[in-house]
Amino acid sequence: MTEPFEILIVEDYEPDAQFALRLFQKSRIANKLHVIRDGAEALDYVFGSGTWAGRNTAHPPLVVLLDIRLSKLDGWEVLRQLKNNPLTRGIPVIMISGSLFADEKAQSRQMGATECLSKPLRIVELKAALANSGLVWAMADQEEVRQAAG
């Protein structure tokens, strides 16, 4: 059996992280959901370094929901490092923010993000952002998702 693709949520504000988890769970997403609380740990997780040194990086996250304003390392720097690395540049990243400024949508796309959404997340916008990433919303069939991401 193949290991299911994971959705990584990088959010330092607990109520927003819980809201995102409930949104995915309520929509019956079959993928494992993993929450990371700051930008530095997000990079450690994705690249299998620091506290995540033993993590198998052969299965990167299917998609990353990345808050712009994070502690330790902000979302812009995390996005820059993900998109500048050949191993991770293909991972779709959806930027999220509770206080979205007009230029941030354009900046996020210029830096390689798929979309930039306001919080609280809304299911219709999230589905559209995932579809723009080439991801099928009904992700129960992991092999189908692997081929679509592929």
Q: How many folded domains does the chain comprise?
A: 1
CATH number at residue 33: 3.40.50.2300
Q: Enter the DSSP assignment of 133.
A: T
β-pairing verdict for 63-67 and 93-97: parallel
For the chain (150 residues), the mean pLDDT of every run of 10, in chain order, is 74 94 82 92 96 90 94 95 96 91 89 93 86 64 46
Range of the domain at 91: 6-149
Give the separation between CA 108 and CA 32, rounded to whole angstroms.
25
Residue-level pLDDT at 139 = 44
Q: What pTM did the predictor assign? A: 0.85
